[in-house]
């Protein structure tokens, strides 16, 4: 189903072959330089040997020529000597006998003697010495012959003289001998040279043999190199072919395994072949495919047609198209996201193969991941102000600040720095040291608080938490964590702390301030009584006789009034002073009445009707009398303030105390004021909740905490028919833990 001629693969094999040839050319290049050298040396040796051979040949020819010439010279000289001997015998016979037959017996003419002499001259033309001698010989021969001829013509005059003359032919012989000697000498010399030439010939032959041998070796080496190269190329070809087959098998397996969709198509858009995975992905069956109905253009939503046109163009141009994402229509009309890549076949015009990967799951996972990230971001955005990461050296590598974060540092300005390199004011050295120890031990940390300077010079408090990160091998790679701006919280805490401290004191002082009139009234009463009694006593003393009994009575009343005033003052001092919590046993009704007495003038001033309904015989209560009086006082004053503004009717305040069914005591303060908004019933107990222009919103919060410190409860509700009800209950048996709570909660302590 898949032909192996996919362009990519031959390409890669071609590149392998190319790599191979490059490899070979590299190796032959490696050999090329020494080979060139060898060939150059060999050529030089061959040339030199050739030259020597030519030279040898020339010299040999010259030597042979010289030898031949010498031989001819010697022959000529021998012949000349014989001719001269004949001439001499001929002439001497004639002269001794005067018999003319002697002259004919030899038949030798002077002419032939002369010819030989000239021939000799021609032979030795190249040898100046011999030439000279030959010339001289020719002349001597000619002269002697002429002389002898003259003697013969005048024969008989002096036979003996003539004989003597003939003997002078010895001179000619002597000259001939000289030339023969010289020529023989030359011959010896020539033979020596011939020997030298023979030696040279032997050398030349040896050199030629060596050259031939070396050439044979080099040729053999080159032949072997070439053979190796060819062997390698063949092996490579076989491997490539095997590779190709293996690849083809793999591709077949891939197609049949149906892990990815595989489609064979033509550029006109027809799907010619597809595996089950592809058909399944799109909800088609094999019949749809064989009927030829499947067309990639129809399968593609309009949105992707442009992309397909571009891909087709790219395929035409380059033969391949990079994988990219798109969508297909399924048979049921729904869409499937896919990853698609393809190549053209080398054979088969306009045909190619594509792989198609179903991305549905991946897209779903991506979407889930995106949503999870979004959720995480939302969480971070609303939970934290900073998200940060540091590396193994504790340097910031990532920071994200909440969008609405005021005074966030410039993005990236802290990257690459450690936390202690960015300007922080707090915490102190010791806290930093501990923090560094935690970091160096790679331990998690929580709520490490530090402060930084805001541009306006104020401090911003940040609370940082972090977890160490480790890689797969357990190596520490850094920290990841969050930071929260806690400036507001810190300020609120500081304010609350300050206010609580203030309030424990100021609440009483302020209350006292408001109550100055009643206090004055309370204290004034005994003082005025004291003054009245003292005046009475003085009057009784100045009577004649003084009435000492009356004086005593007056003085006793003065002492009682003084004590009463002292008690009031003590009570007030106890309220004002910051005294440690006490653990009294006291009568609750009495404590209530004292507070009623303190506020009576206030109530009178605002025309408020007071009704007290205190259960008689209540058991003694254990706790801090002053604190619980403060609670009652606060409830009375709140009620008075609530009813202050009501003009149309007189306010009514009712204070009850009773025994609870559960065993404790219950105190109820009701008023006829505007009452509480049902939504705010619980809020009134929150710190700083107030509806008053000058209110602090701390009174009820403190009251509830005091009651709870005594093991009791406090709550509010609506009064019938109007107004508010505030109630608190106290248990009767106070145990040790209540005492402990009491001590802890006392803000004044």
Residue 638 makes contact with ligand ADP by CB under 6 A: yes
Residue 696 makes contact with ligand ADP by CB under 6 A: yes
Residue in 327, 323, 325, 343 with CA at minimum distance from that of residue 335: 327
Angstrom CA distances, 437 to 391, 421, 469, stand at 16, 16, 16
Stretch touching ligand ADP by CB under 6 A, among 5-13, 24-32, 479-487, 685-693:
685-693
Stretch touching ligand ADP by CB under 6 A, among 169-177, 305-313, 541-549, 687-695:
687-695
Least Å distance between CB 744 and ligand ADP?
A: 21
Least Å distance between CB 726 and ligand ADP?
A: 6
Q: Select from 116, 183, 522, 671 the one that contacts ligand ADP (CB under 6 A).
A: 671
Six token digits for residue 125 = 């033309």
Least Å distance between CB 691 and ligand ADP?
A: 3
Q: Select from 162, 639, 706, 709 the one that contacts ligand ADP (CB under 6 A).
A: 639
3-state class (DSSP) for residue 32: helix
Q: Is 73 left (phi over 0), alpha (psi -120 to 50) or beta?
A: alpha
Nearer residue to ligand ADP within complex by CB, 623 or 699: 699
Q: How far is CA 216 from the centre of its chain?
A: 61
Least Å distance between CB 572 and ligand ADP?
A: 20
Contact call for residues 150 and 40 (beta carbons, < 8 A): no
Residue in 522, 642, 640 with CA at minimum distance from that of residue 572: 522
Nearer residue to ligand ADP within complex by CB, 362 or 692: 692
Residue in 577, 545, 704 with CA at minimum distance from that of residue 628: 704
Residue 261 makes contact with ligand ADP by CB under 6 A: no
Least Å distance between CB 506 and ligand ADP?
A: 11
Least Å distance between CB 536 and ligand ADP?
A: 45
Stretch touching ligand ADP by CB under 6 A, among 252-260, 297-305, 557-565, 682-690:
682-690
Give the number of other CB atoms < 10 A from CB of residue 5: 11
Residue 573 makes contact with ligand ADP by CB under 6 A: no
CA distance 535 to 208: 170
Q: How far is CA 138 from the centre of its chain?
A: 114
Residue 697 makes contact with ligand ADP by CB under 6 A: yes
Least Å distance between CB 677 and ligand ADP?
A: 9
Nearer residue to ligand ADP within complex by CB, 179 or 608: 608
Angstrom CA distances, 624 to 290, 512, 585, stand at 99, 19, 8
Least Å distance between CB 673 and ligand ADP?
A: 5
CA distance 346 to 72: 88
Nearer residue to ligand ADP within complex by CB, 626 or 638: 638
Contact call for residues 748 and 504 (beta carbons, < 8 A): yes
Residue 691 makes contact with ligand ADP by CB under 6 A: yes
Least Å distance between CB 706 and ligand ADP?
A: 12
Residue with tokens 């209560």: 621
Residue 642 makes contact with ligand ADP by CB under 6 A: yes
Least Å distance between CB 699 and ligand ADP?
A: 3
Minimal CB distance residue for ligand ADP: 695
* Total residues in contact with ligand ADP, by rule CB under 6 A: 20
Coarse DSSP helix, strand, coil percentages of the chain, rounded to the nearest 5 percent:
60, 15, 25
Stretch touching ligand ADP by CB under 6 A, among 299-307, 450-458, 551-559, 636-644:
636-644
Residue 371 makes contact with ligand ADP by CB under 6 A: no
Q: Select from 435, 689, 741, 745 the one that contacts ligand ADP (CB under 6 A).
A: 689
Nearer residue to ligand ADP within complex by CB, 302 or 693: 693
Nearer residue to ligand ADP within complex by CB, 21 or 691: 691
Stretch touching ligand ADP by CB under 6 A, among 229-237, 378-386, 600-608, 697-705:
697-705
Residue 692 makes contact with ligand ADP by CB under 6 A: yes
Q: Select from 344, 537, 592, 724 the one that contacts ligand ADP (CB under 6 A).
A: 724
Residue 695 makes contact with ligand ADP by CB under 6 A: yes
CA distance 578 to 500: 13
Least Å distance between CB 515 and ligand ADP?
A: 15
Q: Select from 131, 510, 514, 690 the one that contacts ligand ADP (CB under 6 A).
A: 690
Least Å distance between CB 604 and ligand ADP?
A: 19
- The secondary structure element, H or E, covering residue 452 is strand 445-453
CA distance 192 to 63: 10
Contact call for residues 282 and 334 (beta carbons, < 8 A): no
- The secondary structure element, H or E, covering residue 729 is strand 724-730
CA distance 359 to 337: 5
3-state class (DSSP) for residue 485: strand
Least Å distance between CB 654 and ligand ADP?
A: 12
Stretch touching ligand ADP by CB under 6 A, among 169-177, 411-419, 463-471, 684-692:
684-692
Write each residue from 105 to 124 as x if it is in contact with ligand ADP (CB under 6 A), else as -, in one continuous string: --------------------
Least Å distance between CB 431 and ligand ADP?
A: 37
Read off φ and ψ for residue 486, nearest 5 degrees.
-120, 20
Contact call for residues 231 and 238 (beta carbons, < 8 A): no
Q: How far apart are the first and last CA of the chain?
A: 94
Residue 138 makes contact with ligand ADP by CB under 6 A: no
Nearer residue to ligand ADP within complex by CB, 319 or 697: 697
**Maximum pairwise Cα distance, the chain:** 253
Q: Select from 684, 706, 707, 714 the one that contacts ligand ADP (CB under 6 A).
A: 684
Q: How far is CA 252 from the centre of its chain?
A: 38
What is the β-pairing status of strands 351-358 and 476-485? unpaired
DSSP string, 519-586: HHHHHHHHHHHHHHHHHHHHHHHHSSS--HHHHHHHHHHHHHHHHHHHHHHHHHHHHHS------EEE
Residue 168 makes contact with ligand ADP by CB under 6 A: no
Q: Select from 279, 676, 707, 714 the one that contacts ligand ADP (CB under 6 A).
A: 676
Residue 651 makes contact with ligand ADP by CB under 6 A: no
Question: Using CB under 6 A as the criterion, which residues of the chain lie in contact with ligand ADP when the complex forms?
Answer: 638-639, 642, 671, 673-674, 676, 684, 689-692, 695-701, 724
């Amino acid at each position: 189903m898949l032909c192996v001629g996919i362009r990519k693969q031959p390409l890669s094999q071609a590149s392998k072959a190319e790599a191979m040839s490059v490899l070979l050319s590299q190796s032959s290049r490696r050999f090329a330089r020494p080979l060139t050298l060898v060939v150059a040396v060999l050529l030089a040796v061959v040339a030199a040997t050739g030259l020597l051979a030519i030279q040898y040949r020339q010299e040999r020819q010259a030597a042979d020529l010289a030898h031949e010439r010498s031989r001819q010279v010697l022959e000529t000289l021998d012949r000349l000597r014989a001719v001269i001997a004949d001439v001499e015998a001929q002439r001497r016979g004639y002269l001794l006998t005067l018999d003319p037959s002697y002259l004919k017996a030899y038949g030798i003419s002077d002419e032939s003697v002369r010819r030989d002499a000239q021939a000799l001259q021609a032979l030795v033309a190249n040898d100046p010495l011999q030439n000279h001698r030959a010339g001289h010989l020719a002349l001597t021969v000619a002269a002697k012959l002429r002389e002898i001829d003259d003697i013969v013509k005048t024969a008989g005059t002096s036979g003996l003289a003539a004989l003597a003359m003939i003997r002078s032919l010895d001179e000619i012989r002597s000259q001939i001998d000289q030339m023969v000697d010289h020529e023989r000498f030359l011959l010896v010399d020539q033979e020596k040279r011939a020997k030298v030439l023979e030696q040279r010939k032997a050398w030349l032959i040896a050199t030629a043999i060596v050259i031939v041998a070396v050439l044979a070796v080099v040729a053999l080496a080159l032949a072997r190199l070439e053979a190796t190269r060819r062997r390698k190329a063949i092996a490579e070809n076989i491997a490539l072919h095997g590779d190709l087959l293996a690849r083809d098998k793999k591709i077949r397996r891939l197609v049949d395994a149906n892990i990815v969709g595989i489609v064979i198509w033509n550029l006109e858009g027809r799907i010619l072949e597809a595996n089950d995975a592809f058909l399944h992905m799109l909800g088609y069956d094999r019949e749809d495919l064989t009927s030829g109905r499947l067309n990639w253009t129809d399968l593609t939503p309009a949105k992707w047609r442009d992309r397909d046109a571009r891909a087709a163009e790219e395929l035409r141009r380059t033969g391949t198209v990079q994988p990219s994402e798109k969508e297909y229509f399924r048979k049921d009309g729904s869409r499937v996201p896919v990853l698609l890549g393809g190549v053209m076949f080398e054979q088969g015009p306009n045909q190619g193969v594509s792989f198609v990967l179903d991305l549905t799951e991946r897209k779903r996972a991506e979407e889930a991941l995106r949503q999870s990230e979004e959720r995480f971001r939302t969480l971070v955005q609303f939970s934290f102000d900073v998200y940060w990461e540091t590396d193994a050296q504790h340097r910031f590598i990532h920071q994200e600040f909440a969008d609405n974060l005021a005074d966030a540092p410039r993005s990236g300005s802290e990257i690459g720095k450690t936390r202690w390199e960015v300007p922080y004011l707090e915490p102190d050295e010791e806290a930093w040291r501990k923090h560094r120890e935690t970091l160096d031990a790679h331990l998690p940390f929580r709520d490490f608080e530090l402060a930084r300077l805001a541009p306006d010079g104020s401090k911003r408090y940040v609370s940082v938490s972090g977890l160490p990160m480790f890689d797969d091998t357990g190596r520490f790679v850094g920290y990841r964590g969050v930071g929260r701006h806690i400036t507001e919280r810190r300020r609120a805490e500081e304010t609350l702390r300050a206010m609580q401290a203030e309030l424990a004191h100021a609440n009483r002082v302020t209350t006292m301030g408001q109550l100055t009139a009643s206090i004055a009234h309370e204290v004034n009463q005994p003082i005025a009584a004291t003054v009245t009694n003292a005046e009475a006593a003085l009057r009784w003393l100045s009577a004649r006789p003084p009435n000492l009994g009356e004086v005593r009575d007056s003085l006793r009343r003065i002492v009682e009034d003084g004590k009463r005033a002292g008690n009031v003052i003590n009570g007030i001092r106890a309220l004002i002073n910051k005294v440690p919590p006490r653990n009294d046993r006291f009568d609750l009704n009495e404590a209530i009445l004292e507070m009623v007495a303190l506020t009576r003038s206030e109530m009178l001033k605002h025309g408020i009707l007071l009704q007290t309904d205190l259960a008689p015989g209540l058991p003694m209560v254990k706790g801090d009398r002053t604190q619980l009086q403060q609670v009652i006082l606060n409830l009375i004053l709140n009620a008075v303030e609530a009813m202050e503004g009501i003009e149309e009717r007189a306010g009514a305040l009712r204070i009850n105390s009773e025994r609870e069914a559960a065993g404790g005591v219950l105190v109820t303060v009701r008023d006829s004021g505007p009452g509480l908004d049902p939504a705010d019933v619980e809020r009134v107990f929150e710190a700083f909740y107030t509806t008053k222009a000058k209110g602090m919103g701390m009174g009820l919060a403190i009251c509830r905490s005091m009651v709870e410190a005594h093991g009791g409860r406090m709550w509010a509700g609506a009064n019938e028919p109007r107004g508010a009800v505030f109630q608190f209950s106290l248990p009767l048996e106070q145990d040790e833990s209540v005492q402990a709570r009491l001590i802890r909660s006392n803000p004044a302590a």
